[in-house]
Amino acid sequence: MLLVVMVAIELSTAQQTKYTGTINNLSREWIFYIPQDLPESPPLVFCLQGCCSDYAQWASQSGYNKVADTAKIIVCYPNATSTSLQGQINDRDWDVTGDKDLKFILALIDTAVKKYHIDQTRIYATGFSYGGCFSNYLGCVYPDKFAAIAPSAGYVMTLQLKERNCKTTRPVPVLHMHGTNDQIVAYSSGVKSVGIWVKLNECPRSPITTRDPPLSKRSITGPVKTAPK
């Protein structure tokens, strides 16, 4: 059973609050960003930090607060569990094969449902680098919890597939973002990750590719990026 003891310990603005709580006997921290004029049942987006980074700084660096203000969504920035990578900055990393952070996210969903009356059909996960790996993991294990995932510079780790079979109760919409010049997480790993989701979601194996139009023909909303169909 999950136990959450939630106490607000810092009020950064009128809308962003940092919390601490006990979940499965572990002390955890997270931030909820609540824009003004929310609908009655707003969507919830989990925005997951990269390896060893500061989740509180990620709240400002990611730019999702501005997105939340215009899209009228609640954003949750959870703090990753302690990492085994000693000497790393902030000593934080996601549990991408076990269940420490899976249970943490489930507890935060329960909290958001009770506190903010979120729309449980519109819960999403996005993350950068190792946060992207963990958002893939969430889609793998909880396809019925997450409406879609949007990993950036992350991938589906083979360890995840070995340790825990992905559930296939429903196709999971995936927006995968990756740069070809990524020197940390290889672009080829991202391509393999997309291939895994194509198989899991039973998508057609032949992708439809849309390339950037010439600059003179681009709209102000930007080009359509390559995506599998």
In-domain check, residue 225: no
Q: Is residue 16 part of a domain?
A: yes
Q: What pLDDT does residue 56 have?
A: 76
Q: Is residue 162 part of a domain?
A: yes
Q: Is residue 224 part of a domain?
A: no
**Based on the structure, what is the number of domains in the chain?**
1
**Contact indicator for 201, 148 with CB cutoff of 8 Å:** no
Inside any domain, residue 229: no
For β-strands 74-78 and 44-48, DSSP reports them as parallel
- Distance (Å, whole) CA 140 – CA 30: 23
212: domain range? 7-217
pLDDT in tens, 139-185: 999 999 999 999 999 999 877 776 677 888 999 999 999 999 999 99
SS3 (DSSP) at 124: strand
Confidence (pLDDT) at 84: 54
pLDDT for 82 equals 65
Instruction: Give residue 13's pLDDT.
Output: 44
Low-confidence ranges of the chain (pLDDT < 50): 1, 5-14, 85-89, 220-229
In a domain, 54, yes or no: yes
Q: Is residue 11 part of a domain?
A: yes
Using an 8 Å Cβ cutoff, are 132 and 153 in contact? yes
CATH number, residue 146: 3.40.50.1820
User: If we measure between CA atoms, which residue out of 14, 15, 19 comes closest to residue 5?
Assistant: 19
Residue 105 lies in a domain: yes
In the DSSP assignment, the letter for residue 203 is: -
pLDDT reported for residue 8: 44
Question: How big is the chain, counted in residues?
Answer: 229
Q: What pTM was computed for the model?
A: 0.83
Predicted pLDDT at 53: 73
Asked if residue 150 lies in contact with residue 126, where contact means CB atoms within 8 angstroms, the answer is: yes
